[in-house]
A and B are shown apart, each in its own frame.
Chain A
Amino acid sequence: MKDPKEEIVEHLSAMRAFAMSLTRNSALADDMVQDALVKAWTKIDSYKPGTNMRAWLFTILRNTYYSHHRKARREVADVDGEMAASMAQKPDHDGRLQMRDFNRAFDQLNDEQREALVLVGAGGFSYEEAAETCGVAVGTIKSRVNRARKQLVEILKMSDDEVMEATDIVTTGIVSNQKNVA
Protein backbone atom coordinates (compact mmCIF):
# COMPACT_ATOMS: atom_id res chain seq x y z
CA MET A 1 0.00 0.00 0.00
CA LYS A 2 1.08 3.50 -0.79
CA ASP A 3 2.50 5.60 2.02
CA PRO A 4 -0.30 8.06 2.94
CA LYS A 5 2.38 10.74 3.35
CA GLU A 6 3.13 10.54 -0.33
CA GLU A 7 -0.57 10.90 -1.02
CA ILE A 8 -0.47 14.36 0.54
CA VAL A 9 1.64 15.56 -2.39
CA GLU A 10 -1.24 14.94 -4.79
CA HIS A 11 -3.39 17.45 -2.93
CA LEU A 12 -0.86 20.30 -2.80
CA SER A 13 -2.36 22.20 -5.74
CA ALA A 14 -5.84 21.99 -4.26
CA MET A 15 -4.48 23.07 -0.87
CA ARG A 16 -2.96 26.17 -2.46
CA ALA A 17 -6.23 26.96 -4.23
CA PHE A 18 -8.23 26.63 -1.02
CA ALA A 19 -5.66 28.63 0.98
CA MET A 20 -5.71 31.35 -1.65
CA SER A 21 -9.48 31.63 -1.48
CA LEU A 22 -9.31 31.98 2.30
CA THR A 23 -6.45 34.47 2.53
CA ARG A 24 -6.87 36.21 -0.86
CA ASN A 25 -3.14 36.82 -0.72
CA SER A 26 -0.66 34.49 -2.42
CA ALA A 27 2.29 34.97 -0.04
CA LEU A 28 0.10 34.35 2.98
CA ALA A 29 -1.60 31.41 1.28
CA ASP A 30 1.70 29.66 0.62
CA ASP A 31 2.92 30.25 4.18
CA MET A 32 -0.28 28.69 5.38
CA VAL A 33 0.07 25.69 3.05
CA GLN A 34 3.63 25.21 4.26
CA ASP A 35 2.52 25.14 7.92
CA ALA A 36 -0.35 22.78 7.11
CA LEU A 37 1.92 20.51 5.09
CA VAL A 38 4.39 20.10 7.96
CA LYS A 39 1.54 19.51 10.38
CA ALA A 40 -0.10 16.91 8.13
CA TRP A 41 3.21 15.15 7.52
CA THR A 42 4.11 14.89 11.20
CA LYS A 43 0.57 13.99 12.30
CA ILE A 44 -0.15 11.50 9.57
CA ASP A 45 -1.16 8.95 12.23
CA SER A 46 -4.34 10.93 12.84
CA TYR A 47 -5.40 10.32 9.23
CA LYS A 48 -7.58 7.25 8.79
CA PRO A 49 -6.56 5.51 5.56
CA GLY A 50 -9.44 5.10 3.15
CA THR A 51 -11.18 8.28 4.31
CA ASN A 52 -11.24 11.54 2.38
CA MET A 53 -7.68 12.82 2.52
CA ARG A 54 -8.46 16.13 0.87
CA ALA A 55 -11.10 16.89 3.51
CA TRP A 56 -8.60 15.96 6.23
CA LEU A 57 -5.94 18.25 4.74
CA PHE A 58 -8.39 21.11 4.25
CA THR A 59 -9.40 20.80 7.90
CA ILE A 60 -5.76 21.24 8.94
CA LEU A 61 -5.42 24.10 6.51
CA ARG A 62 -8.42 26.01 7.77
CA ASN A 63 -7.34 25.43 11.38
CA THR A 64 -3.99 27.07 10.65
CA TYR A 65 -5.86 29.91 8.98
CA TYR A 66 -8.18 30.58 11.90
CA SER A 67 -5.50 30.16 14.57
CA HIS A 68 -2.63 32.09 12.92
CA HIS A 69 -3.22 33.63 9.56
CA ARG A 70 -6.57 35.32 9.81
CA LYS A 71 -5.00 38.02 11.94
CA ALA A 72 -2.11 38.41 9.52
CA ARG A 73 -4.54 38.74 6.65
CA ARG A 74 -6.07 41.79 8.24
CA GLU A 75 -2.65 43.32 8.88
CA VAL A 76 -0.99 42.93 5.50
CA ALA A 77 -1.79 45.23 2.66
CA ASP A 78 -3.86 43.60 -0.02
CA VAL A 79 -0.98 43.36 -2.49
CA ASP A 80 -2.74 41.06 -4.92
CA GLY A 81 -5.90 43.11 -4.90
CA GLU A 82 -4.01 46.33 -5.47
CA MET A 83 -2.13 44.79 -8.31
CA ALA A 84 -5.28 43.51 -9.94
CA ALA A 85 -6.94 46.88 -9.50
CA SER A 86 -4.04 48.79 -11.02
CA MET A 87 -4.01 46.63 -14.12
CA ALA A 88 -5.90 48.34 -16.87
CA GLN A 89 -8.82 46.30 -18.05
CA LYS A 90 -10.64 46.74 -21.29
CA PRO A 91 -14.37 47.17 -20.92
CA ASP A 92 -16.18 43.98 -21.65
CA HIS A 93 -18.80 44.36 -24.35
CA ASP A 94 -20.39 40.92 -24.23
CA GLY A 95 -21.84 41.57 -20.78
CA ARG A 96 -19.62 39.00 -19.12
CA LEU A 97 -18.80 39.78 -15.51
CA GLN A 98 -15.45 41.37 -15.02
CA MET A 99 -13.17 39.19 -12.95
CA ARG A 100 -12.17 42.27 -11.02
CA ASP A 101 -15.76 42.97 -10.03
CA PHE A 102 -16.17 39.38 -8.96
CA ASN A 103 -12.98 39.44 -6.89
CA ARG A 104 -14.05 42.61 -5.15
CA ALA A 105 -17.45 41.17 -4.33
CA PHE A 106 -15.89 37.88 -3.23
CA ASP A 107 -13.59 39.77 -0.85
CA GLN A 108 -16.59 41.29 0.86
CA LEU A 109 -17.93 37.92 2.01
CA ASN A 110 -16.97 36.86 5.51
CA ASP A 111 -14.50 34.00 6.00
CA GLU A 112 -17.15 31.42 6.84
CA GLN A 113 -19.24 32.22 3.79
CA ARG A 114 -16.23 32.29 1.50
CA GLU A 115 -14.89 28.94 2.61
CA ALA A 116 -18.29 27.24 2.40
CA LEU A 117 -18.89 28.64 -1.06
CA VAL A 118 -15.43 27.64 -2.31
CA LEU A 119 -15.62 24.10 -0.96
CA VAL A 120 -19.03 23.43 -2.48
CA GLY A 121 -18.96 25.72 -5.52
CA ALA A 122 -15.39 25.15 -6.70
CA GLY A 123 -13.69 22.41 -4.67
CA GLY A 124 -16.24 19.76 -5.57
CA PHE A 125 -17.09 19.02 -1.93
CA SER A 126 -20.53 17.70 -1.07
CA TYR A 127 -22.44 19.61 1.61
CA GLU A 128 -21.66 16.73 3.97
CA GLU A 129 -17.92 16.83 3.25
CA ALA A 130 -17.83 20.61 3.61
CA ALA A 131 -19.69 20.36 6.92
CA GLU A 132 -17.19 17.82 8.21
CA THR A 133 -14.24 19.91 7.05
CA CYS A 134 -15.57 23.03 8.76
CA GLY A 135 -16.79 21.18 11.84
CA VAL A 136 -20.37 22.40 11.57
CA ALA A 137 -23.79 20.93 10.73
CA VAL A 138 -24.79 20.29 7.12
CA GLY A 139 -27.61 22.82 7.48
CA THR A 140 -25.13 25.48 8.55
CA ILE A 141 -23.02 24.92 5.43
CA LYS A 142 -26.12 25.05 3.23
CA SER A 143 -27.24 28.34 4.69
CA ARG A 144 -23.73 29.83 4.47
CA VAL A 145 -23.50 28.85 0.81
CA ASN A 146 -26.94 30.26 0.07
CA ARG A 147 -26.26 33.49 1.89
CA ALA A 148 -22.89 33.85 0.16
CA ARG A 149 -24.48 33.37 -3.27
CA LYS A 150 -27.26 35.81 -2.49
CA GLN A 151 -24.82 38.41 -1.24
CA LEU A 152 -22.65 38.09 -4.35
CA VAL A 153 -25.71 38.56 -6.53
CA GLU A 154 -26.68 41.67 -4.56
CA ILE A 155 -23.22 43.24 -4.77
CA LEU A 156 -22.73 42.39 -8.43
CA LYS A 157 -26.24 43.43 -9.40
CA MET A 158 -25.44 46.88 -8.09
CA SER A 159 -22.20 47.24 -10.03
CA ASP A 160 -24.00 45.80 -13.04
CA ASP A 161 -26.72 48.44 -12.73
CA GLU A 162 -24.09 51.17 -12.64
CA VAL A 163 -22.68 49.88 -15.92
CA MET A 164 -26.18 49.67 -17.37
CA GLU A 165 -26.93 53.22 -16.37
CA ALA A 166 -23.69 54.45 -17.91
CA THR A 167 -24.53 52.57 -21.10
CA ASP A 168 -28.02 54.08 -21.12
CA ILE A 169 -26.62 57.58 -20.82
CA VAL A 170 -24.31 56.97 -23.78
CA THR A 171 -27.12 55.43 -25.80
CA THR A 172 -29.46 58.31 -24.97
CA GLY A 173 -26.75 60.71 -26.02
CA ILE A 174 -26.34 59.01 -29.37
CA VAL A 175 -30.08 58.87 -29.96
CA SER A 176 -30.57 62.55 -29.11
CA ASN A 177 -27.65 63.48 -31.33
CA GLN A 178 -29.26 61.63 -34.19
CA LYS A 179 -32.52 63.44 -33.52
CA ASN A 180 -30.68 66.73 -33.65
CA VAL A 181 -29.14 65.83 -36.98
CA ALA A 182 -32.57 64.87 -38.33
Chain B
Amino acid sequence: MKQDRKISSLEQEIEANLKRVYEDVAKQDVPDRFTELLNKLREADKSSAGQPK
Protein backbone atom coordinates (compact mmCIF):
# COMPACT_ATOMS: atom_id res chain seq x y z
CA MET B 1 0.00 0.00 0.00
CA LYS B 2 2.65 2.44 1.11
CA GLN B 3 4.78 1.44 -1.87
CA ASP B 4 1.85 2.01 -4.25
CA ARG B 5 1.23 5.45 -2.86
CA LYS B 6 4.89 6.29 -3.19
CA ILE B 7 4.89 5.23 -6.84
CA SER B 8 1.76 7.16 -7.69
CA SER B 9 3.19 10.34 -6.17
CA LEU B 10 6.41 9.66 -8.06
CA GLU B 11 4.36 9.35 -11.25
CA GLN B 12 2.70 12.69 -10.60
CA GLU B 13 6.06 14.32 -10.02
CA ILE B 14 7.38 12.82 -13.24
CA GLU B 15 4.46 14.27 -15.22
CA ALA B 16 4.96 17.69 -13.61
CA ASN B 17 8.70 17.72 -14.27
CA LEU B 18 8.21 16.54 -17.84
CA LYS B 19 5.89 19.49 -18.51
CA ARG B 20 8.30 21.82 -16.75
CA VAL B 21 11.28 20.75 -18.87
CA TYR B 22 9.28 21.39 -22.03
CA GLU B 23 7.53 24.57 -20.97
CA ASP B 24 10.68 26.19 -19.61
CA VAL B 25 11.97 26.26 -23.18
CA ALA B 26 8.61 26.91 -24.85
CA LYS B 27 8.13 30.04 -22.73
CA GLN B 28 11.51 31.53 -23.60
CA ASP B 29 11.74 34.32 -26.15
CA VAL B 30 12.87 33.02 -29.51
CA PRO B 31 16.56 33.96 -29.95
CA ASP B 32 17.46 36.74 -32.40
CA ARG B 33 19.12 34.32 -34.80
CA PHE B 34 15.66 33.02 -35.75
CA THR B 35 14.19 36.46 -36.30
CA GLU B 36 17.17 37.25 -38.52
CA LEU B 37 16.82 33.98 -40.38
CA LEU B 38 13.11 34.61 -40.97
CA ASN B 39 13.89 38.05 -42.36
CA LYS B 40 16.41 36.51 -44.73
CA LEU B 41 13.92 33.88 -45.87
CA ARG B 42 11.29 36.56 -46.51
CA GLU B 43 13.81 38.67 -48.43
CA ALA B 44 14.80 35.66 -50.54
CA ASP B 45 11.12 35.05 -51.36
CA LYS B 46 10.66 38.65 -52.45
CA SER B 47 13.68 38.65 -54.74
CA SER B 48 12.84 35.28 -56.27
CA ALA B 49 9.28 36.48 -56.92
CA GLY B 50 10.81 39.30 -58.94
CA GLN B 51 8.82 42.02 -57.28
CA PRO B 52 7.92 42.94 -53.72
CA LYS B 53 4.50 41.79 -52.61
By secondary structure, the A interface counts as helix
How many B residues have CB within 8 A of the partner chain?
Answer: 27
- Find out whether the CB atom of B10 lies under 8 angstroms from the CB atom of A17: no
| A76 interface residue (CB < 8 Å to B) | no
| A77 interface residue (CB < 8 Å to B) | no
- Find out whether the CB atom of B17 lies under 8 angstroms from the CB atom of A17: no
How many A residues have CB within 8 A of the partner chain?
Answer: 34
Which of the residues A18, A37, A123, A153 comes within 8 Å of B10, measured between beta carbons? A153
Most buried by A among B30, B33, B45: B30
Closest-CB distance, B2 to chain A (whole angstroms): 12
| A66 interface residue (CB < 8 Å to B) | no
Which of the residues A12, A38, A123 comes within 8 Å of B22, measured between beta carbons? A123
- Find out whether the CB atom of A156 lies under 8 angstroms from the CB atom of B14: yes
Closest-CB distance, A82 to chain B (whole angstroms): 17
- Find out whether the CB atom of A121 lies under 8 angstroms from the CB atom of B28: no
Which of the residues A17, A156, A160 comes within 8 Å of B25, measured between beta carbons? A17
Contact with B along A29-45 (1 / 0, CB 8 A): 11001100110010000
- Find out whether the CB atom of A122 lies under 8 angstroms from the CB atom of B22: yes
Assuming the contacts A41-B41, A99-B20, A102-B21, asked whether A156 and B27 have C-beta atoms less than 8 A apart, the reply is no
- Find out whether the CB atom of A122 lies under 8 angstroms from the CB atom of B23: yes
Chain A residues near B26: list those with CB within 8 A: 13-14, 16-17
Residues of B within 8 A of A (CB): 6-7, 10-11, 13-15, 17-28, 30-31, 33-34, 37-38, 41, 45
Residues of A within 8 A of B (CB): 5, 9, 12-14, 16-18, 20-21, 29-30, 33-34, 37-38, 41, 96-97, 99, 102-103, 106, 117-118, 121-123, 149, 152-153, 156-157, 160
